[in-house]
C-alpha cells in the first residue's frame, strides 16, 4: 500500500525550515522571474506616473477663476473667521480680569436696594458686548437665507440646497409626486 503524506509533511517539503521556498519550488519559479520583474516594474512605473501627473495637474498658482465663486466683499467682511472669534474670546477674558469681582465691591448696607456707594459703570464692557451682538451671525439658520447663494441660483424657491426638486421635510414623499388624492391602505 502507498503511504499518503500528512498535511504537515507536505508543508515541510514546501517550507523546509519553516520559511522560504523549497529547492524544487525555486526551480519551478525560475523561468518566470524576468517576466515577473518586468511586469511588476511596469505596474510600479505606471502608478508613479499617474501620481506625478495628478500632483502636477492640481498645482495652481493663479486663483482668479475661484474669485467668482466667493461671496461679495461686503458679505465676506461680515463673516467671522476662527481667528476673529479667538481674538474676541481673548478680549472678553482680558475684560473679565478688569471687571470688579465680589471682593472689590463695596460692603452691603442694611437696605439691599440702595448700596452705600454707586458701582462704577464700565463703558468698554458694554461696547464690547454690543459690538459682538452686531457682528454675530446667529441670524442665519439655513443656506437658503444667505443672499449670495440665492443670487447664484444654488437654491430653488423652496430653499432646498442639496437636492433640487426634493419635497419639504414636513411632507415626505417622492421627488416627482404631487399631493396624491389616492388613499394608501
**What is the tens place of the pLDDT at every residue in 90-145?**
888 877 776 666 555 555 555 555 555 555 555 554 555 455 444 445 555 666 67
Return d(Cα 106, Cα 120) in angstroms, integer. Answer: 11
Helix (H) or strand (E) holding 10: helix 7-14
Return d(Cα 12, Cα 16) in angstroms, integer. Answer: 5
- Higher confidence at residue 158 or residue 131? 158
90 by Cβ neighbours in 10 Å (0-12 / 13-18 / 19+) ranks as exposed
Amino acid at each position: 500500500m502507498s503511504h499518503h503524506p500528512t498535511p504537515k509533511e507536505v508543508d515541510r517539503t514546501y517550507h523546509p525550515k519553516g520559511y522560504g521556498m523549497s529547492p524544487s519550488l525555486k526551480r519551478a519559479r525560475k523561468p518566470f522571474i524576468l517576466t515577473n520583474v518586468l511586469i511588476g516594474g511596469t505596474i510600479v512605473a505606471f502608478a508613479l506616473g499617474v501620481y506625478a501627473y495628478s500632483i502636477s495637474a492640481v498645482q495652481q498658482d493663479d486663483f482668479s477663476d475661484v474669485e467668482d465663486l466667493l461671496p461679495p466683499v461686503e458679505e465676506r467682511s461680515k463673516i467671522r473667521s476662527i481667528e476673529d472669534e479667538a481674538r474676541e474670546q481673548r478680549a472678553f477674558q482680558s475684560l473679565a480680569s478688569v471687571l470688579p469681582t465680589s471682593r472689590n465691591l463695596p460692603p452691603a448696607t442694611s437696605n439691599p436696594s440702595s448700596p452705600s456707594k454707586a458701582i462704577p459703570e464700565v463703558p468698554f464692557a458694554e461696547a464690547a458686548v454690543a459690538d459682538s451682538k452686531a457682528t454675530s451671525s446667529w441670524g442665519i439658520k439655513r443656506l437658503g437665507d444667505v443672499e449670495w447663494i440665492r443670487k447664484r441660483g444654488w437654491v430653488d424657491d423652496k430653499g432646498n440646497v442639496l437636492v433640487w426638486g426634493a419635497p419639504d421635510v414636513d411632507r415626505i414623499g417622492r421627488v416627482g409626486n404631487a399631493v396624491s388624492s389616492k388613499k394608501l391602505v
